[in-house]
Amino acid sequence: MNKIMKKTILTILCTSLSFGAFAQTSGAKTEKALFILTSNSLQTQGMSMVLANAMVKQGTQVNVLLCDKAGDLALKSTTSETLKPMGATPEGLMMNLIKGGALVKVCALYLPNKGASKEDLREGITVASPPDMAAMMGQQETKVISN
């Protein structure tokens, strides 16, 4: 392999890993996915929502758990910059995800440590139950993707 080819392969691999992509060698469709999003990076937040929306369109049951700085997406008061090339904000993509049937929750630690309440959350977003999240994470058919 030449140097350019190695660099290209490494770049593709690193990009895939950074967005929590996973390969399925069996060809089986993923039935359930749990995105755990903690990043404050708008591009990471946006791409996570783009990928989650794509999975919903492919028939996957998607759940999103927003923690730490990513929890801000759940707040009515948050307005992020518009991302190119789709011309959408991460929170706009997240609301489309909810409209598509995905469940979006903030982690149980988010609101009390932010000094916010359930009334501050966007419509359709709730607070996660740690036992329920742990059970979902432990299900063999659930792919857990963390960003």
Domain CATH code at residue 43? 3.40.1260.10
pLDDT tier, 122 (very low <50, low <70, confident <90, very high otherwise): very high
Residue 130 covered by a domain: yes
Q: Which domain holds residue 134?
A: 24-146
Structural domains of the chain, count: 1
**pLDDT exceeding 90 applies to what percent of the chain?**
79
For residue 102 the two structure tokens come to 């995905």
**pLDDT exceeding 70 applies to what percent of the chain?**
81
| Closest alpha carbon to 60 in 82, 20, 90, 30 | 30
Residue 3 covered by a domain: no
DSSP bridge partners of 121: 75
Residue 64 covered by a domain: yes
Beta strands in 26-131 (DSSP E): 32-37, 61-66, 103-106, 125-127
Give CA 146 to chain center in angstroms. Answer: 7
Residue 16 covered by a domain: no
Among 13-22, 37-46, 117-126, where is mean pLDDT lowest? 13-22
Residue 71 covered by a domain: yes
Going by the DSSP 8-state scheme, the letter that residue 80 receives in this structure is P
pLDDT of 7: 43
Angle at 64 between CA 25 and CA 37, to 5 degrees: 90
Query: Over the stretch 51-63, which tens digit does the pLDDT of each residue have?
Result: 999 999 999 999 9
Going by the DSSP 8-state scheme, the letter that residue 14 receives in this structure is H
